[in-house]
Amino acid sequence: MLCPCGSKQTYPLCCAKYIENFAKNKSMLPELPEQLMRSRFTAYALNDALYIFATYAKQSQSQYSLQDISEWSSQCKWLELTVHDAPIMEIDEQEFQYVEFSAFYIHNDTVNVMREKSRFIKEKNNDNQLAWRYLDGDILQNDVIKQIKRNEICPCNNYFNKQSTKAKKYKHCCGS
């Protein structure tokens, strides 16, 4: 299975090493903000609310609950992540890194796009080592792309993370 993050790598060689290892070793997080962004998208696609919550910066965690994250994640069918900009800069622990991305998803029988410029910060984890965390983001776009009709070909066939090689109607695929 290809990784939902769109890296074109298999899931075990990409985001699984962060998401699954995090479940075993709470201090195992990506080394770069883009990797963290990709793994968070994958966690949304897999409805792994614990990983998503744990990768929020400490000051942001109070704004979200595991239940809220899980509900939002499960209400959407996450189709594709496109990373537009993820510069890598030398920084000290007080500065931020940014990743600009677009996330495509199905929600309430519509295809949507959300474009965000996310801000990441390095914080000390449980082992007292610095790790990247998602702090917040500026939503640049949040639009419905199209309304989906039950009998049309499922829109997931138009995205990188398509469900199968055989196109199905929406009502038999992501709309079921």
Distance CA 141, CA 116 (A): 7
DSSP 136-170: EEEEEEEEEEEEPPTTSBPGGGGSTT-S-SS--BG
Among candidates 96, 104, 164, which has minimal Cα distance to 132?
96
User: How many CB atoms are located within 10 Å of the residue 73 CB?
Assistant: 18
Distance CA 37, CA 90 (A): 18
Q: What are the beta bridge partners of residue 110?
A: 107, 147
Q: Is the pTM of the predicted complex or chain greater than 0.85?
A: yes
Residue range 54-107, pLDDT digits in tens: 999 999 999 999 999 999 999 999 999 999 987 776 655 557 889 999 999 999
Q: Are strands 110-124 and 96-107 parallel, antiparallel or unpaired?
A: antiparallel
Q: Name which CATH class applies to 11-148.
A: alpha beta
| 3-state SS record for 83-145 | EEECCCCCCCCCCEEEEEEEEEEEECCEEEEEEEEEEEEEEECCCCCEEEEEEEEEEEEEEEE
Residue range 24-39, pLDDT digits in tens: 766 667 888 999 999 9
- Phi and psi at 173, nearest 5°, equal -125, -110
